[in-house]
Amino acid sequence: MSDNVVHIIDDDEAVRDSLKFLLETAGITARSYESASAFLEASPRDSAGCIITDVRMPGLTGIDLLKRLKELGNDTPVIVITGHGDVPLAVEAMKAGAADFIEKPFSDDVILNVIHTSLKKSRGASEDHSRAAIAKRADALSARERQVLDGLLSGLPNKSIAIDLGISARTVEVYRANVMTKMGAKSFSELVRMAVIAGLGSDKTPPA
């Protein structure tokens, strides 16, 4: 298998074809599979490039695939695609070893940027952030900011967090912005990744 191949795994044929066309138009070699099982049957244990997989699929899910790849010793970066409201699944995927996640609907620029970042990652590269450094930033959060962070990591929308905390949705947005700034996260997916690395969140379970 050639270097820098992007493997697209999705049970939706339209999604597979659309992503494959986008990547090939951008000069990136892409191969598509209708299921995680089909990918595992066709792919060697050590494949260069990256993988894009939907998280919800019949049979093996995206998270099942991540666990299987780990068992096989395959450290190809995996980008997980999640639907709206699937933040808890995204957190689980990150704990299972996903390199990143993207929420639907996403723009061409967003997914291309994430793919390019994944393709540039060296095999076995260290995390961008150390657990100690992230924990130190988290310690700088106020009690209310930490509550908002826990709500976000649980997949709650701003309105639900606002109701739970007895504040306005607008105030939650302000706290959310403060959390992003203090944690040094440029995107929500990066914030989730950092939280997973440091074992933040309501369950306080550090990554394996």
Locate 38 and state its tokens.
Answer: 């089909």
Instruction: Tell me the C-alpha distance between 143 and 149, whole Å.
Output: 10
pLDDT of amino acid 145: 96
The CATH T-level fold of domain 5-120 is: Rossmann fold (3.40.50)
Percent of the chain with pLDDT over 70: 87
SS3 content of the chain, % helix, strand, coil (to 5): 50, 10, 35
Assign 190 a pLDDT band (cuts: 50, 70, 90): confident
pLDDT, tens only, 105-114: 888 998 998 8
Percent of the chain with pLDDT over 90: 45
- Sorted by sequence, the CB contacts under 8 Å of residue 144 that are 6+ apart come out as 165, 175
Helix (H, G, I), strand (E, B) or coil at 78: strand
pLDDT of amino acid 19: 94
What CATH number does the domain located at 131-198 have?
1.10.10.10
Closest CA to 54 of 2, 112, 7: 7
Three-class HEC string of 22-74: HHHHCCCCEEEECCHHHHHHHCCCCCCEEEEEECCCCCCCHHHHHHHHHHHCC
5-24 average pLDDT score: 93
37-58 average pLDDT score: 83
The average confidence (pLDDT) of the chain is: 84
Lowest model confidence (mean pLDDT) among 131-135, 146-150, 190-194, 201-205: 201-205
36-52 average pLDDT score: 81
- Sorted by sequence, the CB contacts under 8 Å of residue 184 that are 6+ apart come out as 129, 137, 194
Q: Where in the chain is the domain with CATH 1.10.10.10?
A: 131-198
Assign 195 a pLDDT band (cuts: 50, 70, 90): confident
pLDDT, tens only, 83-106: 766 778 888 888 888 888 888 888
Q: Where in the chain is the domain with CATH 3.40.50.2300?
A: 5-120
